Amino acid sequence: CHRLTNICFVDPLSTALIRKISMNIYELLKTMTEYKLSNSWTLDDKINLLRHSGHQCYDDGEYRKAASFYIQAIDQIQSQTDVNTNQNRLQCDIYLDLADTYIQDGQYQAADKSIHKTQEIAKRLNDCLRLAYCIDRQAKIEKLLGQHLQALNNFKKSMAMKLEIHGGDRNLDVAYSYNCIGIIHDDQLNYTDAQAMYEKALNIRREILGDNHPDVAQCFWNLGLIYRYQAKYPEALQMFHKALSIKMDIFGEHVDVANCYYNIALIHHHQRHYDLALAYNQRELAIRVSLQGDNFPEVALLYLNIADIYRHQMNFKNAIRMYQMAENIKINLYGKYHPELIKIYQSMAKVYKKLHSHDQAAAMKLKSREIEDDETDYQSCDDSEIRTSRISQTSNHETNLNKSIEDKGVLKDKDYFKHYTNALQHGCCRSDFIRITIIGPQFVGKSSIMKIFTQQGLIHESKATKIVDNTGKLINLVIYNVYDKHTCDFRVVLNGKVIIALQLFARQISSPIQNKINSAIDKNPKINARNEINPDRNKQPLAQDPNHYTSDSFCPCQDLHPTSDPFINDDNLSSKQDRFDQCLHTFQEYFQQVVSYKSKIDMDHHQYGQVWDFGGQAMYHVTHRPFISPNCIYILVFNIAVDIDQQVMTRNGQALPMTYMEAMEEWLTSVIGSHPSQHQISAEINEQGELFSLPIVILVASHGDCIGNVEESNRRFAAFEEALATSLPCYEKNICSSGIIFNGNPSDCTITTIADRQNCCNRLHHIINSFVEALPFMNNPIPIKWYILATILHTSKSSTANPIQVTAQMESIRTKNVQKIMTFQQVRYVTRACGLYENDENLRAMLLYLHDLGEIIFCQKYDIEGIIITDTEWLLNIFRNIIDLDENRITNLGIKHAFRKARRTGKMDEKCIDFALKKFNLTSQNKETIIQLMERYDIIGYIKTESKCRIGDRQFLVPYLLDSNINFMDLDKYHISDRLYIGYRKSDVPYIPDGIFYCLLAACLKEWNNPKVEIFHLYAKYHLIDDHYDIVIKKEKSHISLQYCYQNIQQSNAARNMMTSIETSLNCKRPHDIVRNKLNMIIQERLPKFKDTRCQYFIQCLECHHLTTISGYFKHDSTLTKCHRCGRLFNAQSLNDWMIYGRKKLRDQQSGVSCEFDRDDPRTYFYTIANFIGTDWTKLAAKLDLDIDVNAIKSENVKIFDQAIEFLKKWFNKNHPRSTSTMLKEALHEIDKTFIANMICNIDVA
């Protein structure tokens, strides 16, 4: 012992460890010597020695031995007849030690038993602190099992107990709880909450332990990772440097220090600070070579990192030297033909080419091709081949994968797995699912028809649909049959489709390529040459070449902010190989499970329709948007017992201010306009081909029982068809008139009626099937992995009738990472973890496909990358709770009053939303995401106040909740302009849906946002605070009317000043242009079929009273125009009121003020330019004035429009009177924005 403690090691860590070990041996020998001399070894000495031995084995990773020592210590305590309090406390602590050992060894049930033993003793002792320790262990197990919510609740429960016991949070026990809670939030990518917890733990530990302690360093390390994940690189560097300083003082040269250097270098690499990145990588390299030797995977990884830095610095000779170092290590570890060498040789070839060493470059390419075997075959199956060969390379577990399947006696399964890994990248299959959506006005029998169709003729009483009903019914589109997703596991159906796709892919793949893949897996000794790697990733992290294919496709933790430079390797993480191994294990489990389904499900080639039912109430129209898909078949239901021009009736017999024709126009425009294509298909409905435009709308009738007479029913159906064709001629090719009339009377269940219903269902099924066979959506192939992602994101519970469970690995990924609300970034993480990720574009296509099926909601709008809702029914319940809040049993008077106020004013207080969301137990972050989602779809609009509102006190615009009787606006005390109409020709867009109008109100609220906005039924008044007038926007069937009004003022000077301000605003800001542009943008986004149509101004003819477009300009009379309908000339005062032709002339009955328009005032064109120039406003800035700080403008204004306006104002104010419209037009021409220059020239001409 004396010799051991006096050996001088170069490595301080080794010295410290040897001294610790020698002192332990010395103490043990001393104790044994004393026992021999005095023969007085007490029971407590034995227990402490056994526990101490357990600690030593635990630290060495020998968990079975550690458990044995702990059990012996417990047996020693329990061997006594009378155990005192201190010994019971010691027994608690040893049980906890035993639980920790079992947890580390993965024996969670045994750990749970030890925890329960501890709890029994602690309860007898009334020891609350040890009970809290037990809860900590339970939470740790839950975390490891992926049960994050339960783990989080238990850690919080334990922390509350510790706070009560210690009387505050200045205690290391509480700091431990803060740290554990932070880890849970970190795992869930909830970085804000994780950071808060880590900071609390850090403050306590620094106060108690001081600044120079490993636990303090760990807090800094955790915070550094949090900042790095969020790309907050300066803050991350600060944290990692603090952690580095502490670990250097304590450990000297140590693996933890090397890891700090690695993270610091990685951040500098991200920031392209290559000199600093190189310096820290070299420091890390020195430590790793000293501790691990030259022939270690992480050292090879470092050489690759350094080579990449040299390549960026154009230091090509040193780059080659580093690549050669990495090459030598890879060859020593894996042999000369390992796939990881491919990218090294390809990178070296590029560098040699830069050095003009073409012979060496060619030699490197040849080496790369030798590993690939044949360049032609590689190009034809490159990714799948690399993946397959990669599978045979990873570890003993993976190289024996096919053998393990053969050992089970399933020879075919070996080929299945080969096809699976190959098909995962290249395999495609037919799309076998489509949504069938039932739409129509309220109380027309949609739910009844849905019940009849999904229950094959049977029916019972049904309630009105609220917003949307995802029925969970699957209609077999080949053979009329119905499956219930609530009673049969939908994942089984999806996995059945995967099996069929694998079978088809196996037949289609070319023999030479398949033989090559088989050979790569089974026979090639070069590929299988690999040393065994220690599976303990904490001790020996495996290296992975970041340029290798598997890094891009399999690694779940790629950097989320990659640079565009292909030479930057931001993903050189030491645990890449382990994550790949995890993905491979997932594939193996999933594949074996899929193969097991072959004996449990029918291998059918059928296609299925998922049935959805949309609520018809007007208040639900705006909430339908997240659930509408262009790629589905619609069934439009009408009540054949009422006339199409009658008012829509509620279930209570109340007449609504909308006719059935208007309701039909609403529905048809909403669903047909959502399809972006003008594509036509040919479908054989009655044994003859007919052309239809997409999307398809099948017209069916309800309430046939109310007519009775078949001839009368057919006559009324024909009359309804004629009315639709007359009113909506542009939709004729979208509508399939089925002639089907359902009897939806639930009390009529006679055999004849049921047979008639079944006949109607069969006819409807035949029509749907005919369209499905012709739809591009159903015939275009889709990647197989899209179905696999559907099984992962599918959140419905497995059926008890079909108890086929997903794999443990897949279930673990789902439990840990799949939540009801996810960001695009989180879904990207899941797909990487499952090996399904290719690139963001492919992932978006995958999510849009699942959105079309109704499996998820995928919102990608404006400035957000994407929000994904994996449980559509859960989101629907949230919407129902908010919109139908008055139907709940509310006893809180404040909530009742707030909701009644929303019904009167169209403005909802946030406390109403909080009350509606209470039952869902949302976190504050999830609540904000739901609000953000509703704002993105214009379901609500945030109303700004003069002072900044705190969260919880906000107010939102909800015009669709307004009582339809609230339709009176008192404008008697105002001067009112003539109406100006905005809209489209009826032949282009025959109707503007209410949902579009509500979106327009929300968009205008963002433009003129203040609490003085007033909402009425289908119109609103916006107050323009700085301009002394109001804008009134009203929906009038297929157009939007505009008026402005301003207050009567008796004093002539004040009236004159007000008029001047209003004229300037109308002329320069042109609010009517703003409304028109916003309507146009909403139509383009929500109704893409009409994106090429032109939004125009209309005025009402004084002769025939029809709306007509503005035409012509008469030189001496700006109000004289010609009606396109009747051909008469008439004076349109609205042209003058709204200064359509740029004249600055308003009627004012009191003062008769009139001003002339200055055509050279560039402010006239600011809003027009800002609306159309987009991000090119910076080019305009470079032409007009280089001294104006565009970066400051960008930082102060989020919207592109606001940035452009702000620059133009600064330019005008700085250069006036030299800033002229001529300069503006010339600058627009110079930046190739001639069309904008022509637009403002047209205003001048007018």
Q: What is the pLDDT of residues 523-570, one digit of tens each?
A: 333 333 333 323 332 333 323 332 332 333 333 333 333 333 333 333
Largest CA distance in the chain: 127
Residue 607: phi, psi to the nearest 5?
Answer: -115, 155
pLDDT for position 134: 94
pLDDT for position 651: 77
SS (H, E, C) 953-993: CCEEECHHHCCCCCCCCCCCCEEECCCEEEECCCCCCCCCC
* Residue whose C-alpha is closest to residue 1002's, from 1022, 986, 982: 1022
* Residue whose C-alpha is closest to residue 899's, from 910, 598, 1146, 951: 910
Of residues 618 and 709, more confidence is placed in 709
Per cent of the chain over pLDDT 70 is: 73
Of residues 202 and 496, more confidence is placed in 202
Q: Does the structure show a pLDDT above 60 at 409?
A: no
pLDDT for position 970: 73
pLDDT interval class at 398 (50, 70, 90): very low
Is 436 within 8 Å of 612 (Cβ atoms)? yes
The crossing angle, in degrees rounded to 10, of helices 214-229 and 172-187 is 20
pLDDT digits (tens, 9 = 90+) for 816-850: 778 888 888 888 888 887 777 888 888 888 898 88
What is d(CA 509, CA 849) in angstroms, rounded to the nearest whole number?
A: 25
The crossing angle, in degrees rounded to 10, of helices 316-334 and 297-312 is 160
Q: Does the structure show a pLDDT above 80 at 873?
A: yes
Is 1062 within 8 Å of 1046 (Cβ atoms)? yes
Strands (E), 104-188: none
3 state SS of 839: coil
Is 435 within 8 Å of 855 (Cβ atoms)? no
Q: Does the structure show a pLDDT above 70 at 318?
A: yes
pLDDT for position 459: 62
Q: Does the structure show a pLDDT above 90 at 689?
A: no
Which range in 392-406, 485-499, 1228-1242 is most confidently predicted, on average pLDDT?
1228-1242
Residues 6+ apart with CB under 8 A from 609: 433, 434, 435, 436, 474, 475, 477, 633, 768, 772
Residue 697: phi, psi to the nearest 5?
Answer: -120, 115
pLDDT digits (tens, 9 = 90+) for 656-666: 888 899 899 98
What is d(CA 360, CA 346) in angstroms, rounded to the nearest whole number?
A: 11
What is d(CA 649, CA 664) in angstroms, rounded to the nearest whole number?
A: 14
The length of the chain, given as a count of residues:
1246
Token pair, residue 1180, equals: 């305009």
Q: Does the structure show a pLDDT above 50 at 1122?
A: yes
pLDDT for position 883: 81
The angle formed by the CA atoms of residues 952, 956 and 957, to the nearest 5 degrees, is: 170
pLDDT for position 948: 60
pLDDT for position 919: 86
SS (H, E, C) 1007-1040: HCCCCCCEEECCEEEEEEHHHCEEEEEEEECCEE
The crossing angle, in degrees rounded to 10, of helices 824-833 and 808-817 is 160
3 state SS of 237: helix
pLDDT for position 201: 93
Q: Does the structure show a pLDDT above 90 at 635?
A: yes
pLDDT for position 510: 40
pLDDT digits (tens, 9 = 90+) for 1052-1093: 777 778 888 888 888 888 899 889 988 988 888 888 898 888
Q: Does the structure show a pLDDT above 60 at 1142?
A: no
Distances in Å between the Cα of 1020 and the Cα atoms of 129, 727, 906, 984, 1014 are: 61, 28, 10, 21, 6
The mean pLDDT value of the chain amounts to 76
Of residues 1055 and 742, more confidence is placed in 742
- 112 burial via Cβ count (<10 Å: 0-12, 13-18, 19+): middle
What is d(CA 340, CA 331) in angstroms, rounded to the nearest whole number?
A: 10
Report the range of poorest mean pLDDT among 20-29, 128-137, 458-467, 1084-1093: 20-29
What is d(CA 631, CA 1021) in angstroms, rounded to the nearest whole number?
A: 37
Q: Does residue 657 have a cis bond before it (omega within 30 degrees)?
A: no
Of residues 1052 and 1154, more confidence is placed in 1052
pLDDT for position 7: 33
Residues 6+ apart with CB under 8 A from 688: none
Residue 579: phi, psi to the nearest 5?
Answer: -70, -35
How far is residue 158 CA from its own chain's centroid?
33
Q: Does the structure show a pLDDT above 50 at 996?
A: yes
Q: Count Cβ atoms below 10 Å from residue 1235 Cβ, excluding itself.
A: 9
614-650 residues labelled b (16+ CB within 10 A) or e (exposed): bbbbbbbbbbbbbbbbbbbbbbbbbbbbbebeeebbe
pLDDT for position 265: 92
pLDDT interval class at 1032 (50, 70, 90): very high
What is d(CA 329, CA 300) in angstroms, rounded to the nearest whole number?
A: 6
Long-range Cβ contacts of 156-159 (<8 Å, 24+ apart) = 156/181, 158/132, 158/133
Q: Count Cβ atoms below 10 Å from residue 1053 Cβ, excluding itself.
A: 9
The angle formed by the CA atoms of residues 117, 120 and 125, to the nearest 5 degrees, is: 125
What is d(CA 18, CA 1190) in angstroms, rounded to the nearest whole number?
A: 63
pLDDT for position 721: 92
Distances in Å between the Cα of 898 and the Cα atoms of 259, 886, 895, 905, 951 are: 56, 10, 5, 10, 17
pLDDT interval class at 1010 (50, 70, 90): confident
pLDDT digits (tens, 9 = 90+) for 82-123: 888 888 899 999 999 999 999 988 888 899 999 999 999 999
Q: Does the structure show a pLDDT above 80 at 129?
A: yes
Which range in 25-39, 553-567, 1148-1162, 1208-1222 is most confidently predicted, on average pLDDT?
1208-1222
Q: Does the structure show a pLDDT above 80 at 590?
A: no
What is d(CA 256, CA 854) in angstroms, rounded to the nearest whole number?
A: 48
Token pair, residue 84, equals: 């005192």
Helix then strand count (H, E) for the chain reads 50, 29
What residues form DSSP beta bridges with 682? 691
Tell me whether strands 689-693 and 680-684 are parallel, antiparallel or unpaired: antiparallel
pLDDT interval class at 408 (50, 70, 90): very low
Q: Residue 796: left if φ>0, alpha if ψ -120 to 50, beta else—which one?
A: beta
Token pair, residue 1037, equals: 């069937």
DSSP string, 1-58: -HHHHH---SSHHHHHHHHHHHHHHHHHHHHHHHHHHH----HHHHHHHHHHHHHHHH
What is d(CA 17, CA 5) in angstroms, rounded to the nearest whole number?
A: 10
What residues form DSSP beta bridges with 1033? 1020, 1042
Task: Report the pLDDT averaged over residues 377-386.
Answer: 38
Report the range of poorest mean pLDDT among 379-393, 573-587, 596-610, 798-812: 379-393
What residues form DSSP beta bridges with 783? 428
What is d(CA 844, CA 848) in angstroms, rounded to the nearest whole number?
A: 6
Task: Report the pLDDT averaged over residues 1128-1145.
Answer: 72
Of residues 1021 and 503, more confidence is placed in 1021
Q: Does the structure show a pLDDT above 50 at 985?
A: yes
Q: Residue 313: left if φ>0, alpha if ψ -120 to 50, beta else—which one?
A: alpha
pLDDT interval class at 594 (50, 70, 90): low
pLDDT for position 715: 92
pLDDT for position 811: 65
pLDDT digits (tens, 9 = 90+) for 143-167: 888 888 889 999 999 999 999 998 8
pLDDT interval class at 792 (50, 70, 90): confident
Task: Report the pLDDT averaged over residues 640-656.
Answer: 85
> With the CA atoms of 613, 615, 621 and 622 taken in that order, what torsion angle do they form, in degrees rounded to the nearest 10?
-80
* Residue whose C-alpha is closest to residue 1152's, from 989, 975, 981, 921: 975
Task: Report the pLDDT averaged over residues 209-229.
Answer: 91
pLDDT interval class at 982 (50, 70, 90): very high
Is 69 within 8 Å of 23 (Cβ atoms)? no
Q: Does the structure show a pLDDT above 70 at 595?
A: no
